Amino acid sequence: MKLIKAYDNWVKAAEEKDRNHPKYNNSITDNEGRVAGFLGEICFAYLFGAKILDTFNHDVELNNQTIEVKTKRSSYVPQPHWLSSVAEQSEHQVPDYYAFFFVKYMDKKLTVPQGIYYAGGITYLDFWSKSTYLRKGEGDSSNNYSAHIPQNNIINSELDLTIFDFVV
């Protein structure tokens, strides 16, 4: 897990994008997690020199490879045994890679970002061959997590922190 500071200009850009971007009809968090999602995309673009696409199917592009950035919010420092997820409703997205981030907040209401953690990346094919499907309400015995929506999960320690280093 790699900690990246939550730069004020990134937070402002993510908040502005949230204000100006149409609301999602199928949002898992009723659009409450959008700023964190946009922060993940901005952070990825900064770290790896990627272009933000902001399309329905892909978030960023790097060396003609499409990447879907998945970001979770937390008031705790994320751990290697935690899960990174792709919601069942996102299965229409077929990127070349997934990149996973966690935004750690200073407060329990998840309003003041403190840091962004890069959990790692994985190819699309590897994610779907290594991940575990959980139905809504089903638990994961590795960490007592219970899925709030149908999703596929992978343990953070199985992600590759260097998968995108081919451009750096």
From the CB of residue 2, how many other CB atoms can be counted at a distance below 10 Å? Answer: 11
Mean pLDDT over residues 12-40, rounded? 71
Percent of the chain scoring above 90 in pLDDT: 54
For the segment 11-37, the average pLDDT, to the nearest whole number, is: 69
Distance, CA of 86 to CA of 98 (rounded, Å): 9
The pLDDT-based confidence of 168 (bands split at 50, 70, 90) is: very low
pLDDT at 50: 95
**Percentage of residues of the chain with pLDDT beyond 70:** 88
pLDDT at 22: 59
Mean pLDDT of the chain: 86
At 42, phi and psi to the nearest 5? -65, -45
Structure tokens at 162: 């260097």
Average pLDDT rounded to a whole number, residues 41-50? 94
All residues at 6 or more sequence positions from 166 whose CB lies less than 8 Å from its CB, including other chains: 63
Per-residue pLDDT at 165: 82
Q: Three-state SS for 117? A: strand
CB-based contact 59:134 (threshold 8 Å): no
- Answer for the pair 111, 103: CB distance below 8 angstroms, yes or no: no
Over residues 111-147, the pLDDT tens digits come to 778 899 999 999 999 999 999 999 998 887 666 778 8
pTM of the model: 0.87
pLDDT at 49 over 90: yes
List the Cα angle 112/19/63 in 5-degree steps.
85
Judge whether 78 and 117 are in contact, CB under 8 Å.
yes
Q: Mind listing the pLDDT tens digit for each residue in 80-100?
A: 999 999 999 888 899 999 999
Cβ 86 vs Cβ 150: under 8 Å: no
Find out whether 147 and 134 touch, Cβ atoms under 8 Å.
Answer: yes
